[in-house]
Structure 1
Amino acid sequence: MQENDINKSQEEEMEIDLLELAMTLWKKRKKLAVWSACGAVFGLVVAFSIPKEYATSVKLAPEVADSKGGGGSLGALASMAGFSMSSSSGADAVYPQLYPDVVSSVPFTTSLFDVQVTTKDDGKKMTVRQYLENEIRAPWWSTVMGLPFKLLGALRSNDEPAEGKKLDNFQLTVEENGLVEALNQRVSASVDTKTSVVTIDVNMQDPLVSAVLADTVVARLQEYVTNYRTNKARNDLEYALKLNEEAQSNYYKAQQRYADYLDRNQGLAFHSAQTMQDRLENEATLAFNLYNQTAQQVQKAQAKVQENTPVYAIVTPATVPIRAMSPKKGLILVGFTFLAFVACAAWILLISPLLEDYKKKLAEGGEKQQTDCAEE
C-alpha cells in the first residue's frame, strides 16, 4: 500500500511539473512565436540559397560469367541469402560488385573530363571539366568560409600549370585531384548483391548535364568491361589473323611457283621434271592446308570474341529529370522552425531561470558586502 501511495504521489508531482512547464511556455507564447517566425525566415533564406540538384539514375543488369565449378543450386541458395558467388569465378575478375570501384577510380573519372555536355537553360556547350570549374554554384556561406583558404592557396601556389599540359593519372595536380574528388561525389555506382543489378547515380545542378553524363558513364562502364572480357580473345584473334596472312602469302607463292614450273616444262617426260612437279604440287597442297587451318582458327577466334562480349539489359534508361532532388525547401523550413521553437523553450525553461538565480546570488552577495562594510 505504501509503495502504491508513493507511486501515485510521484505521478501527481510529474503531472504538476508538466502543467507548470506548459503554463510557463503559454505565458511566453509571444516570444515562442517570434523565435519560430525568425527560424522560419532563416530556414527560407537557407533553402533558397542552396542550389538545386538534379539526379539521374540508370539501372542495368549485366551478364555475369557462369562459374563452371560453382554449382547451380548452391549459387541460388547463396543469392537468396544475400551473397553472390560470381566473384569466385576465375573467368571473370571484374564482376558487378567491383563496378563501383571501377567508376570511382582515377583513370575512369579523368576520362569523363572531356565529355561534351550542354546546359538546358542557356544551351552552353562545354566539357565536364569546364562545367565543374565554371558552372557549379555553392551557397553563399560556403563561398564566404572558403575565401580565406582560396587566398592562402593562391599565395602558396607559385608554379602555375603550363597551358596544354597533358593530364597524367599517375601524378595529378592539386586542381585535378580536386576535380576528381568533386566528380566522385556527384557520380556513384551501387550493386544489389541479390540481383547483381547495377545502379548509376549522377547528381548535377543542370538536369540535361545530369542525364547526358549518366548515359556516358553507363556507356564507358560497358566499354571498360567489354574490353576486359574480350581482351584475351581479341589478342588471340589478332594472332590468328597474322598467321592467316602469312599462310595465305606462302600458299600464293607456292601456287605461283608450281604454275610457273608447269608453264616452263610443259610436255617434258623426264623423271627429274616429274619429281620436281610433284614436289612443287605437294608444297602448294601443304601451303593450302595450312592456309585453310589458319582460316578456321580465325573464324573460331571471331566467334570467341563474340561469345565473350557481355550483354547489358538497361532496366531504367537515362532520362532528363524534371524535378530537383534537393533542396527540400519544406523540410528545411519545418526543421528550422522546430529548432527555433525548441531553442526558445530551452531558454525559457532552463537558461533564463539559471541566469535569474545567478543574478540574485550576485545581488545578495553585494548586499552582504555593503552590510559588512557598514558594520565595520
Structure 2
Amino acid sequence: MGNNQQVNMEIDLRALIYNLWNKRKTILKIMGIGLLAGIVIAFSIPKTYKVDITLSPESGQNGNTNNFAGMASMLGIGGIGGNGQEALNSTMFPDLIKSTPFILEMYNVEVTPQTSQHAIKLSDYIDTQKSPWWGYIFNLPGMAINGIKSLFISNENTNDSNHIIDPFRLTGEQNRKIAIIKGTLSATIDSKSNMTIVSATFQDPEVAATVADSAVAKLQKYIIDYRTRKAQEDCNYLEKLCKERKEEYYKAQKAYADFMDANRNVVLQRTQAEGTRLQNDMSIAFQIYSQVETQLQVARAKVQEAKPVFAIVEPATVPLSPSSPNKKIIILGLMFLGFIGSSAWILFGKELWQSLRNTNKETND
C-alpha cells in the first residue's frame, strides 16, 4: 500500500512538472511582466536616506549616589542618595518621539538640503519631498476637494492659520505634516544591550542627519527636564527662602550693632537685657539662615544627582548611499510572485475556473 502511494505521488509530481514545462513560455511571459512592473515600481519610489544614532542612557544618580550621600553626611543632613530611584531612561523614547507635542518642537527645526544653500524649516521641506507617480493619482480626489475649498476660503487667512500653530486646534495641513514627520522618526530599544537607536528617514541625507541630531538633543533635554523638575523646584524654593533668611539675619545683626554702638558706655540692667535679647535674635537668625543654606547646597546636589547621563555611542553622520528602496528585492519579488501566480493558475486555477463555469452552466440550464 505504501509503495503504491509513493509511486502515485511520483507520477503526480512528474505530471505537474511536465505541465509546467509545457507552459513555460506563459510562465516566462508573466515573469517578464513582473520584471517590467518591478523595474517601474523600483525606479518610481524616491530614494530615502536613514540616519541612526545609538545612545546608551545611564542614570546620573546611580553613579553619584555615594558622593552625594557623603556630602549630605558631612552637612549633617540625611535622606539624600541611596533611595533606589530609577532613572527615567530611554524606555520613554519610542512613545515620546511619536507624541504630537514633541513633533511640534521638531516642526520648525531648520534644515539645509544638499541641493540648497539656504536653511528652511522642516515643515516647509516636507512639501519638497517627492512621491511615487501613483501617489499623485490617489491624491487627485483630495486635491480636487481642496481646490474647490480654496475658492471659498481666503488665501490670506489660510496662510496665517498655517504659520500659527495651536496644539489644541491644528489645521488639516498641519496635521498632514505632523503625520509625515511622525513617520520619518522612530526610536527602538535593544533589549540585550539596552541601547537606544533613534532614526530619521528623509529623501535628503543632510536633512536626515540634521533631524536625527536635533531629535536626540530634544529628547535628552526633555528627559533631563522631566527628571530634574521636582528637584529644581525644591532648589528654587530654598534659594528664595535662603535669601529671605539672609536678609533677616543681616537685619538682626544691624539692629544689634546699632544698639551696642548707641549704648556703649551705658551700664543699666535694662540696656544690658535689651542687648542680650538682640544678640539672641541675631544668633537665632544666623542658625536658621545657616540651616537653610545647608539645605540649599544639598538641593543643588540633588538637581545634579537627578540628571541622567546619555552616552552617544554612534553619532549622526551624513549617509553616502540610500537605505531604500531596495530595487533588487522589489524586482526579484515581483518576478517570483509572477512565477508563483502563473504556476498556481496553470496547475490548479484553470481547472477550478473551468469547473465553476461548467457548474454555472448546468445550474442555468
Q: Is the 8 A contact 2:16 2:347 kept in 1?
A: no
Q: 1:278 to 1:317 in 2, by over 3 A?
A: same
Q: CA deviation at 1:333?
A: 2.0
2:235 to 234, 237, 260: 237
Cα distance in 2 for partners of 1:238, 1:19 equals 82
Structure 2 residue 52 is matched with structure 1 residue 54: no
Cα distance in 1 for partners of 2:109, 2:264 equals 68
Q: CA deviation at 1:57?
A: 1.2
Q: Is the 8 A contact 1:229 1:308 kept in 2?
A: yes
Aligned residue in 1 for 2:74: none
1:339 to 333, 337, 340: 337
Matches within 5 A, 1:277-296: 277-296=275-294
Cα distance in 2 for partners of 1:359, 1:114 equals 61
Q: 1:265 to 1:51 in 2, by over 3 A?
A: same
Matches within 5 A, 1:1-376: 3-4=1-2, 6-7=4-5, 9-26=7-24, 28=25, 32-64=27-59, 91-92=85-86, 94-132=88-126, 134-156=127-149, 161=158, 163=160, 166-343=164-341
Q: CA deviation at 1:288?
A: 1.7
Q: Is the 8 A contact 2:107 2:178 kept in 1?
A: no
Cα distance in 2 for partners of 1:128, 1:297 equals 45
Q: 1:177 to 1:276 in 2, by over 3 A?
A: same
Q: CA deviation at 1:345?
A: 5.0
Q: Deviations over 1:238-294 (max 9, x none)?
A: 111011100111111122222222332232222222222222222222222222111
**What RMSD in Å do the two structures reach over aligned CA positions?**
3.2
Cα distance in 1 for partners of 2:34, 2:241 equals 78
Q: Is the 8 A contact 2:59 2:307 kept in 1?
A: no
Q: Is the 8 A contact 1:254 1:280 kept in 2?
A: yes
More deviation, 263-272/5-14? 5-14
Cα distance in 1 for partners of 2:29, 2:331 equals 15
Q: 3-state DSSP class of the match of 1:163?
A: helix
Q: 1:4 to 1:161 in 2, by over 3 A?
A: same
Q: 1:45 to 1:280 in 2, by over 3 A?
A: same
Q: Is the 8 A contact 2:61 2:87 kept in 1?
A: no
More deviation, 296-305/314-323? 314-323
**Greater gyration radius:** 1
Q: CA deviation at 1:126?
A: 1.0
Q: CA deviation at 1:358?
A: 11
Which structure carries more relative contact order (alpha carbon 8 Å, separation 6+)? 2
Q: Structure 2: where are the runs of 5+ without partners? A: 63-82, 359-365
Number of positions where the alignment pairs a residue of Structure 1 with one of Structure 2: 335
Letter in 1 for 2:12: M
Q: CA deviation at 1:138?
A: 0.6
Q: Deviations over 1:59-80 (max 9, x none)?
A: 212225999xxxxxxxxxxxxx
Q: 3-state DSSP class of the match of 2:106?
A: coil
Q: Deviations over 1:275-328 (max 9, x none)?
A: 222222222222222221111111111001011111112222222111111011
Q: 3-state DSSP class of the match of 1:150?
A: helix
Q: Is the 8 A contact 1:44 1:329 kept in 2?
A: yes
Letter in 2 for 1:150: M
Q: Is the 8 A contact 1:103 1:109 kept in 2?
A: yes
Q: CA deviation at 1:49?
A: 1.1
Aligned residue in 2 for 1:81: none
Letter in 1 for 2:122: V
Q: Given the two structures, how large is their TM-score scaled by the length of structure 2? A: 0.80
Cα distance in 2 for partners of 1:350, 1:4 equals 26
Q: 3-state DSSP class of the match of 1:220?
A: helix
Q: Is the 8 A contact 1:103 1:189 kept in 2?
A: yes
Q: 1:13 to 1:264 in 2, by over 3 A?
A: same
Letter in 2 for 1:139: P
Cα distance in 1 for partners of 2:188, 2:211 equals 16
Aligned residue in 1 for 2:76: none
Q: 1:12 to 1:34 in 2, by over 3 A?
A: closer
Q: 3-state DSSP class of the match of 1:62?
A: strand
Cα distance in 2 for partners of 1:8, 1:311 equals 67
Q: 3-state DSSP class of the match of 1:241?
A: helix
Q: Is the 8 A contact 1:65 1:92 kept in 2?
A: no
Q: Structure 1: where are the runs of 5+ without partners? A: 68-88, 361-376
More deviation, 211-220/340-349? 340-349
Q: CA deviation at 1:203?
A: 0.9
Cα distance in 1 for partners of 2:167, 2:299 equals 33
More deviation, 286-295/262-271? 262-271
Cα distance in 1 for partners of 2:262, 2:61 equals 61
Q: 1:107 to 1:258 in 2, by over 3 A?
A: same
Cα distance in 2 for partners of 1:250, 1:11 equals 102
Cα distance in 1 for partners of 2:293, 2:137 equals 69
